[in-house]
């Protein structure tokens, strides 16, 4: 049976990346490992590891993406939580059986062979949940 292994990351939507990094780095003492341009999401992402998880600070780079519209509507703040699962197909199958609405019916393959899918917040109490499985 497919299981959730851990929180992989919490994604935070930001409007001012420099100011936000000042808080997390100079204030809380966390360290950014790298900054990644993600053209597919029209955003730039700063990665800050914490324990075995990560915070991802996501800044939209254009005004016409889903993320930029979300930012405009809701303001900056937590955007989604990503959970690592051991078997993403098995997990999506079970969610469908439970009547859960999915954004991605089949896993999307991202950087490094990681496969991911989003659950619709309507089915998850307003929380945007990302599921991902590492390549074996």
Can you give the binding site for its own copies, defined by CB under 8 A?
1-7, 10, 12, 14-16, 19-20, 22-23, 26-30, 50-53, 57, 75-78, 81, 83-84, 91, 94-95, 98, 100, 121, 123-127, 129
Nearest-approach distance from CB 96 to its own copies, in angstroms: 10
Q: C-alpha distances in angstroms, 36 versus 29, 48, 89, 105?
A: 21, 12, 28, 26
Least distance (Å) between residue 71 CB and its own copies: 10
Q: How far is the CB of 112 from its own copies (least distance, A)?
A: 20
Alpha-carbon span 130 to 118, nearest angstrom? 4
Q: How far apart are CA 86 and CA 26, in angstroms?
A: 35
- Which DSSP symbol is given to 26? I
Query: How many Å apart are CA 71 and CA 11, to the nearest integer?
Result: 13
- Which residue, 6 or 69, has its beta carbon nearer to its own copies? 6
CA distances from 57 to 11, 38, 76 (A): 6, 12, 10
Judged by beta carbon, residue 77 or residue 110, the one nearer its own copies is: 77
Beta carbon of residue 97, minimum distance to its own copies (angstroms, whole number):
9
- Considering the complex, state which of residue 65 and residue 123 has its C-beta at the smaller distance from its own copies: 123
């Amino acid at each position: 049976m497919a299981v959730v292994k851990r929180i992989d990351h919490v994604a935070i939507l930001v409007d001012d990346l420099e100011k936000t990094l000042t808080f997390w780095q100079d204030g809380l003492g966390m360290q950014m490992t790298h900054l990644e341009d993600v053209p597919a999401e029209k955003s730039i992402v700063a990665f800050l590891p914490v324990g075995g998880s990560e915070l991802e600070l996501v800044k939209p780079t254009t005004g016409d993406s889903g993320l930029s519209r979300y930012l405009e509507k809701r303001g900056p703040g937590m955007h989604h939580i990503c959970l690592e699962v051991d078997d993403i197909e098995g997990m999506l199958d079970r969610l469908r059986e439970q009547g859960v609405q999915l954004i991605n019916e089949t896993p999307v393959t991202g950087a490094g062979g990681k496969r991911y899918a989003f659950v619709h917040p309507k089915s998850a109490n307003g929380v945007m949940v990302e599921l991902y499985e590492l390549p074996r």
